[in-house]
Amino acid sequence: MSEPKGGSGRHGLVRGPQSLAAGLGLLALGVFAVWAGGDLPQGTLGAMGPGLMPRWLGIGVATCGVALLAAAFVKDGDPIPPVAWRGLFVVVLAIIAFAVTIRPVGIGSFMTPGLGLIVAGPLAIMIGGYASPEARFGELVILALLLTAGCMLLFGDLLNLPIPIFPTVVIEAVSGSISTRLLLRIAVGVLIILGLGLIALRRGANRRRPVDVATHSLTT
């Protein structure tokens, strides 16, 4: 007798262990995001504060968690697979790297320099990409450049959120000589050009790469 499609045939209280674990994780993450951003000013849709997006993003994540929890009790699902420790470790490492580089952080008597999103973003993407054993350095560089450019344009320019974009030393050096928004747009353009340039170089290299053709002998 075959098992039903898309399920494991469980009839206990928890029918979808994966959904249960994922739902608990998302619910905890969403609640933590709302709690951590509770002290930040919310603002309005017309004048967004730094706490508005994290709060509603946390609410959305928590809602998805509740939906998964409900599904775990009404829909058959797969068992929880073995934990991919490599992915978990690398992703946590990427988050920590982002947190300690985007703005100055005091660690004992040591203070991190505060490199802004333009450095912390690509660094986190590059590290997090290696959570997969199939990661390729060149592809991660392109993703880091273009994704960081998009985040800078969205959060720093369009939404005008108070996120550190550039290293503190750069802001101090150009203070009074060029506006921060103009500098941001120039940096976004440079990142996009570099990313697209790398894509073009990779495509050109692939086209020039010789194709191995198997030699077949005809026998009569």
CA terminus-to-terminus distance, the chain: 51
Helices (H), the chain: 17-36, 52-74, 85-102, 117-129, 137-151, 168-174, 180-208
CA-closest candidate to residue 65, choices 19, 116, 98, 12 = 19
Q: Which stretches in the chain have pLDDT values below 70? A: 1-12, 210-220
Taking the mean position of all CA atoms in its chain, how far away is CA 130? Answer: 13
pLDDT of residue 219: 52
16-29 b/e (C-beta count within 10 Å ≥ 16 → b): bbbbbebbeebbee
Q: What pLDDT does residue 212 have?
A: 56
d(CA 146, CA 97): 19
For residue range 191-200, list pLDDT tens digits in order: 999 999 999 9
Q: Which pLDDT does position 34 carry in this prediction?
A: 85
Give 123-133 pLDDT, tens digit per residue.
999 999 999 88
- CA–CA dist 27, 49 (Å, integer): 24
The pLDDT of residue 2? 47
CA 97 – CA 93 distance, rounded (Å): 6
